[in-house]
A and B are shown apart, each in its own frame.
Chain A
Amino acid sequence: MTTQEPVIVIDKLQKSYGKVQAVRGISMSVERGEIFGFLGPNGAGKTTTIRCMLDVIRPSAGTIRVLGLDAQRDKMELHKRIGYIPGDVRLPGKMTGKQVINYFSRLQGLEPVLLDDLVARFDVEMKRPIKGYSKGMRQKIGIVLGFMCDPDVLILDEPSSGLDPLLQKVFNEFLLEEQARGKTIFMSSHIMSDVEKVCQRVGVIRQGEIVTVEEVEKLREKAGQRVTVEFGDAVAEEELTRIPGVSMVNKNNNNSSYHFSVSGSMDPLIKALSHHEVMRLQAEEAPLEEVFLKFYEEPEKAPTMAQ
């Protein structure tokens, strides 16, 4: 593959389980050195897509290419260069962390060059049998398994689930360092604040279909601002809703203050407010989570890609 080609290319991927269509012809690509967030509600098709990428399940139609290699036909060559962390890391209870790592390192056929650093960074328990591990401790072993042989591409299925906030922060920092080293990371997640911190682009999947693939910055712009204005004079709600970019206007019943969202430029709002007595004005960035949640909603309520 050339350097210009995307590292991951999913083209018209479909996967059905009997009559249930889990993934309905999705297409997207991930560039080299990118951290791509793959979001969606439970049952949307995230894990199905990831398992198709690993050839653990076979697509009903469509193709997946990773590093220029076909995910099915060239899987042996491809699997030498990818790391994978499952969403729920489950391991044999009687094995110790060390035995698990040794087993999977042998299957990889490579020395775990990052092992010592990962164990130190994530404070991984190695000596006790896995059955005594908490979910977070198992997840840490999963992180070690995914990264220890220094793969080029990481496929992570909700990698930080079960980690405490401190470790989530360490993990996010680690992802950014890996990205700086040129690694490409495809991760599904439910923790939107983490996605916001580390991902450059996100794809949102809902009911097996891609709703949007967007840069996080652009989504942030779309999310706009949350504004609260307390007026000294009487202002009609309709006057505010007519201002370009203003939406979701709510009046506080106790006083003459309004809450609303503003997308795009604030200039029309400022000009409109100048005709009134403004006692208090507060503006803050709307959390990106709200935008994501809108995409998660039922199709008739949720925004489309064009919007």
Chain B
Amino acid sequence: MATTTIAKSIPVPKKRAEGLAVMIRTIINARTPLSIGIFYSVLIALLLAGLYPAISQANIGSYLSSSFISGLIGGHLTNFSGFTVFLGLELYSAFYGLLFGGILAWIGGAALPNAIENGTLDLALSRPIARTRYYLESWLGVLICAAAIGLATVFAVWIDTFIVKNAGINWQWLWITQLVQWAFMFFAAGLGMLFGSFINASRAAGGVTLGIIALGYLMNAFGGLSDQFKWLLNASPFYYAPAIDPLVFHQLTWWHPWVLVIAGLVCGIAGLVIFNKRDLPAV
């Protein structure tokens, strides 16, 4: 073992840039679900391009117009023609929110408990880092994960246009559709941060948030079956992310995505208040 002694004259420590160290660590901690999200968004989009020539021959119009299928995909498609409709059905339907919103919910829910579990939260907060800053940087890290998944999707759709002849994608409306999905992811991230602010185990917090997203999907699916269940539809976050409408029909109720943004913001701020007030557990 080395037996050097501390030098007698020790310089005063110089200041160093803090950067967004917590945000970067949040993204690194989320690398597995983030990679899964990016991989599947690209894979699904590319598979669609590969399958499109065969699927486009199928006559599934009557199948799509059933209220049950409408419930499952979160929109009414009556006419199955064109690559955009195919994208709306297989990628940007309610499944997008369920799969990628679910991944975001998991990442958001696990962000803070991860730091409790791996022992870094105590050590980080014993340094000149305010809890508010720690929380906001974590939240920002989760939102960057959302941005990465969405950009990967759009990139994969762009690749599709080289594979599918005459894809006929209206890029303006595709970006609007993606913004609607980002609004849904923003909600999922905020919800995750809320649960992560008071649940100490990352799997529990991520799992609970993911469960709520799945419950919302079921409410959306069954809410469309009859007028009797319309309240279920209105209570589901999926109702406010109608991606098929903007992508296929080029129409959007503008305030619907804002409901998700505001709900995500309220959840996130509630989580911040809880995180600031609570006693943090020992490892």
Contact surface of A with B, Cβ cutoff 8 Å: 17, 47, 51, 54-58, 75-77, 79-80, 82, 84, 86, 88-93, 103-114, 117, 120-121, 123, 145, 149-150, 155, 166-167, 170, 174, 177, 181
Question: In the complex the two chains form, is A117's CB within 8 Å of B279's CB?
Answer: no
Which residues, 232 to 272 on B, are CB-close (under 8 Å) to A?
A: none
Q: Which of A57, A90, A177 contacts B119 (CB 8 A)?
A: A90
List the 6 shortest-distance A-B pairs measured between CB atoms, nearest first: A90-B119, A57-B279, A110-B13, A84-B126, A92-B118, A107-B127
Binary contact readout B107-144 vs A (1 if CB under 8 angstroms, 0 otherwise): 00000000000111011111111100000000000000
Docked pose: A75 CA to B129 CA in angstroms: 9
Interface code B1-14, partner A: CB below 8 Å = 1, 0 otherwise?
Answer: 11111110011111
CA distance A80 to B16 in the complex (A): 13
User: Contacting B13 at CB < 8 Å: which of A103, A104, A111, A123?
Assistant: A111
Q: Tell me if A117 and B118 are in contact (CB < 8 A).
A: no
Closest CB of chain A to B87's CB: distance in Å? 37
Partner-A contacts on B (CB < 8 A): 1-7, 10-19, 21-22, 25, 29, 118-120, 122-130, 277, 279-280, 282-283
Structural contact, B119 and A79, CB atoms closer than 8 A = no
* Cross-chain contact B125 with A54 (CB below 8 angstroms): yes
Q: Which of chain A's residues have a CB closer than 8 A to the CB of B119?
A: 86, 88-92
What are some 29 contacts across the A-B interface (CB < 8 A)? A54-B122, A54-B126, A56-B125, A56-B126, A57-B279, A57-B280, A58-B279, A75-B130, A76-B130, A79-B126, A82-B126, A84-B126, A86-B119, A86-B122, A88-B119, A88-B283, A104-B124, A106-B17, A107-B124, A108-B127, A109-B17, A109-B127, A110-B13, A111-B16, A114-B6, A117-B4, A123-B1, A145-B123, A181-B10
The smallest beta-carbon distance between A48 and chain B, in angstroms, is 9
Known: A77-B128, A121-B5, A150-B13. 8 other contacts (CB 8 A): A54-B126, A91-B120, A103-B21, A107-B124, A107-B128, A108-B128, A114-B10, A170-B1
Contact B126 A113 (CB under 8 A): no
* A106 adjacent to B6 (CB under 8 Å): no
Pick the contact of A110 from B15, B19, B130 — CB < 8 Å? B15
Tell me whether A174 and B125 are in contact (CB under 8 A).
no
A274 to B13, CA, bound (A): 65
Flag if A104 contacts B282 (CB, 8 Å). no
Chain A residues with Cβ below 8 Å from B120 are 91-92, 103
Q: Verify B127–A79 contact, CB threshold 8 A.
A: yes
Q: How far is the CB of A23 from chain B (nearest CB, A)?
A: 13
| Distance in angstroms between the alpha carbons of A200 and B3 in the assembled complex | 25
A106 touching B126 by the CB < 8 A rule? no
A107-B118 contact in complex given A51-B282, A58-B279, A121-B4, C-beta closer than 8 Å? no
Cα-based distance from A84 to B126 in the complex (angstroms):
7
With a cutoff of 8 Å between Cβ atoms, the chain B residues found around residue A77 in the complex are 128
A114: chain B residues within 8 A (beta carbon) = 6, 10
Contacts of A51 in B (CB 8 A): 122, 282
B282 to chain A, nearest CB (A): 7
Q: Please give the distance in Å from B119's CB to the nearest CB on chain A.
A: 3
Query: How many angstroms between the C-alpha atoms of A166 and B124 in the bound complex?
Result: 30
Contacts of B279 in A (CB 8 A): 17, 56-58
CB distance from A243 to the nearest CB of B (A): 49
B123 → A minimal CB distance (Å): 6
The answer to whether A76 touches B13, judged by C-beta atoms less than 8 angstroms apart, is no
The CB with the most chain A CB atoms within 10 A, among B2, B15, B127, is that of B127
Given A91-B118, A113-B11, A121-B4, check contact A103 B25 (CB 8 Å): yes
The residues of A that contact B128 with a CB separation of less than 8 Å are 76-77, 79-80, 107-109
* Other-chain residue from B13, B14, B283 in contact with A86 (beta carbon distance below 8 A): B283
Chain A contacts of B11 at CB under 8 A? 113
Kindly provide the distance from the CB of B155 to the nearest chain A CB, expressed in whole angstroms: 28
A residues less than 8 Å from B5 (CB atoms): 117, 121, 177
Given A111-B16, A114-B6, A150-B13, answer yes or no on A90-B126 (Cβ-Cβ < 8 Å).
no
